Amino acid sequence: MAGISNTIIEKANHPRPHVGESMVPVTTRVFREIGFLETMEKEGFPRKYGASWHAPQNKGKVYILFGEFPNDLTNQDYTYHVDRSRMDLLLLKRAEELGSTVYQGIPVKQVLFEDGYAAGVRIGVGNQEIDLRSKIVVDASGRNTLLGRQLKLKVKDPIFNQYAVHAWFEGVHRGDPDVAGHIHIYFLPIERGWVWQIPITETVTSMGVVLEKDAFTKVARGNMEEFFWEQMQTNDNLAEAMTNARRINEFKTEGDYSYKMSKFVGDGYLLIGDAARFVDPIFSSGVSVAMHGARAASERIKLALETNDFSEAMFKPFEEKMRTGVDIWYEFIRLYYKLLPLFTLFMQSKKYREQVHRLLQGEVYDRKEVPVLEAMRKFIEAAETTEGHLFKAQLTDVPIDAIPEDLLTPVAMAD
């Protein structure tokens, strides 16, 4: 953050592995603004020109090419797939180049408060704890949700309770050459179940299974390998892709999948990225939301320092912007799971194809700019209310309206 004294305290020692390996095109805008796009290009991360979706039993697939509707803001017809251990290290170095002080391998134990304002952090160094003072604290602790847990802000998503198992493989058949660089999403014949296929290098592919947690009983019994390979056989195209696949690292799991904080800002603090909210990653939205969140947060932080106002009200516009953005993703995700064929129908519709594309590229920060969501709602309503509607049988029980407050339960504190 040019011109502003800041310290990044990172629990891990980089490079370190991390999930979240595929992006949407609008992320490029932030890379360019922070002088990082050149690095992305130079490092040769696989280019992502589009996305492909596969129905089970080889009953059809649909794909998009970002180049079909070029994005003026990014001026590129592709985004990237990344090995997050490499990219995150490069980003950290870039922050250092721009003037940040970076400490690695240092856990933040808690955020300190004074007169109701966040006033610094307590860090662990060896056996000692040291307090560091600051005017503003930004929680970017990801799914650890440090401040959210400390202040009991964390609310579990009442609809999605998914769980993921993932690993890297060699020998995955990524499909025909024109789509081999895509992210591939394979639907499983189980509600809200899907598999990602993401190219990491020329030969290494990330594969991950996402399912409702209840479906993971075998994992609980320790049969991760068996469970994973069983799922690979439930979609014909996926089974074909995995015919000669060989796992090259350990399986990792992600639980307590979707959540949000009851607020993203307070006096003296802001929560960004996964530290604020996490939604089903089926549209690769996570890194974009984190980068745009950091961008929006930096604007308010700059203003706060200029005016010496560190109140919640000062940071609120950041929260509103991020809520709008992630709410749009979340609405799209719910409509998508509500009636899967609808996505294909709208993708092939001349009227809506471009709007669906824009959404998938990550242009989600103004609800008025995405009327396709209203059109999807109307279609679902028609399917629900029209007698004999030919898509009625495909409707699931995913609620698409506002979620009643009583369903929003705080997450039990882990510590």
Note the residues at the interface with another protein (CB under 8 A): 55, 59-60, 341, 344-345, 348-351, 378-379, 381-383, 386-391, 393-394
Min CB(349)–another protein separation in Å: 7
Contact criterion met (CB below 8 Å) for 400 and 143: no
Which residue, 251 or 391, is less far from another protein as judged by CB? 391
Phi, psi of 387 (to 5 degrees): -65, 130
Which residue, 172 or 383, is less far from another protein as judged by CB? 383
Min CB(193)–another protein separation in Å: 18
Min CB(348)–another protein separation in Å: 5
Min CB(166)–another protein separation in Å: 28
Cα separation of 88 and 14, whole Å?
A: 8
Which residue, 55 or 183, is less far from another protein as judged by CB? 55
Which residue, 69 or 391, is less far from another protein as judged by CB? 391
Min CB(58)–another protein separation in Å: 11
Contact criterion met (CB below 8 Å) for 292 and 365: yes
Which residue, 203 or 348, is less far from another protein as judged by CB? 348
Host H or E run for residue 114 = strand 108-114
**Which residue has 């996505």 as its token pair?**
343
Min CB(69)–another protein separation in Å: 18
Which residue, 393 or 414, is less far from another protein as judged by CB? 393
Both structure tokens of 347: 């993708």
Cα separation of 260 and 185, whole Å?
A: 25
Which residue, 221 or 378, is less far from another protein as judged by CB? 378
Which residue, 264 or 352, is less far from another protein as judged by CB? 352
Both structure tokens of 60: 């059809």
Which residue, 101 or 394, is less far from another protein as judged by CB? 394
Phi, psi of 291 (to 5 degrees): -70, -45
Cα separation of 108 and 368, whole Å?
A: 40
Contact criterion met (CB below 8 Å) for 36 and 80: no
Contact criterion met (CB below 8 Å) for 53 and 62: yes
Min CB(56)–another protein separation in Å: 11
Min CB(137)–another protein separation in Å: 48
Taking CA atoms, 396 is separated from 4, 189, 370, 391, in Å, by 49, 13, 23, 11
Min CB(374)–another protein separation in Å: 12
Cα separation of 131 and 108, whole Å?
A: 10
Contact criterion met (CB below 8 Å) for 8 and 103: yes
- 217 CB contacts (<8 Å, ≥6 apart)? none
Contacts 24+ apart (CB under 8 A), 239-243: 240/173, 241/172, 241/173, 241/174, 241/175, 241/184, 241/186, 241/197, 242/169, 242/172, 242/173, 242/207, 243/173
